[in-house]
């Protein structure tokens, strides 16, 4: 299945839901703002339900199923590295100390992003079969 009317309807619903929800956020202090936020979120949820319903209609893709745990580990490591950088800024006030903690955190992040995630993403790639 390629692009269809159902996809168009689901995208319209998503855009409408997002617009109403963000209007709710913009005018949250008013009563109608809160109502709009709830209605918008329901619209977004409904659009995602439609997306999920349409997904099986799509034909097989040229993509293998990749290990979710490994992908999660890659993302987690990327975030941990970033947090090391943030907390490192408060461990010391010296420029060299902060430089070291920042580089260490960045290195951890890079292990997650270019070390683990690409391996996870091509673990079961169809070109390997």
Partner 1 sequence: MRINRLSSCIYALAIVLMAGAGIVARADVAPSAPTVELKDTLAKAPTTSALAAGDPGGVLTGTINDVPVGDAKAGLTLGDVANQVGQNKIGINFTWTLICGFLVMFMQAGFALVEAGLCRVKNANHTYMMNFLVYTCGLFAYWIIGFAIQMGGAAGIGNLGGAQPLNSEHLLPLFGTDWGIFGQAGGFLAGHPYDVGVMVVFLFQMVFMDTALTIVTGACAERWKFLTFSVSSVLMGAFTYPLFANWAWGGGWLAQLGSKIGLGKGYVDFAGSGVVHSVGGLTALAVALIVGPRIGKFNRDGSANPIIGHDVSAVMIGCFILAFGWFGFNPGSTLGASGAGCLRIGSVAVNTMLAGCTGTLGALLYMWVMKGKPDASMSGNGLLAGLVAITAPSGFVNPMGAAIIGFVAGVLVCLSVAFVENKLKVDDPVGAISVHGANGLWGVLSVGLFADGKSNYGGSWNGVTGSVTGLFYGDASQLVAQLVGIATLVGFVFSFSYVLNWILDIFIGQRVSVETEVEGLDLPEMGQLGYPEFVFTAEPEYMKAAEAEAAA
From residue 124, give the alpha-carbon distance in Å to each of 72, 77, 83, 115, 120.
16, 21, 31, 16, 8
Nearest approach, Cβ of residue 48 and partner 1 (Å): 5
Q: Which of 35, 38, 42, 110 binds partner 1 (CB under 8 A)?
A: 110
Does residue 69 interact with partner 1 by CB under 8 A?
no
Does residue 61 interact with partner 1 by CB under 8 A?
yes
Q: Which of 16, 23, 34, 39 binds partner 1 (CB under 8 A)?
A: 23
Nearest approach, Cβ of residue 109 and partner 1 (Å): 4
3-class secondary structure for 66-125?
A: CCHHHHHHHHHHHHHHHHHHHHHHHHCCCHHHHHHHHHHHHHHHHHHHHHHHHHHHCCCC
Nearest approach, Cβ of residue 84 and partner 1 (Å): 9
Q: Which of 62, 67, 69, 70 binds partner 1 (CB under 8 A)?
A: 62
Residue showing tokens 């008013």? 30
Q: Which of 16, 18, 39, 46 binds partner 1 (CB under 8 A)?
A: 18
For 37, the token pair is 């936020």
> Whole-angstrom Cα distance, residue 81 to residue 87?
10
Nearest approach, Cβ of residue 40 and partner 1 (Å): 10
Does residue 13 interact with partner 1 by CB under 8 A?
no
Does residue 38 interact with partner 1 by CB under 8 A?
no
> Whole-angstrom Cα distance, residue 59 to residue 2?
9
């Amino acid at each position: 299945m390629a692009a269809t009317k159902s996809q168009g309807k689901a995208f319209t619903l998503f855009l409408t839901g997002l617009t109403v929800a963000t209007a709710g956020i913009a005018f949250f202090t008013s009563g109608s703002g809160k109502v709009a936020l709830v209605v918008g979120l329901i619209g977004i949820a409904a659009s995602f339900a439609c997306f999920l319903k349409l997904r099986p209609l799509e034909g097989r893709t040229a993509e293998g199923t990749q290990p979710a745990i490994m992908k999660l580990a890659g993302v987690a490591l990327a975030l941990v590295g970033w947090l090391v950088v943030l907390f490192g800024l408060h461990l010391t006030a010296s420029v060299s100390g902060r430089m070291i903690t920042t580089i260490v955190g960045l290195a951890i992040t890079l292990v997650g992003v270019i070390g683990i995630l690409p391996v996870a993403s091509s673990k079961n790639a169809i070109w390997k079969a």
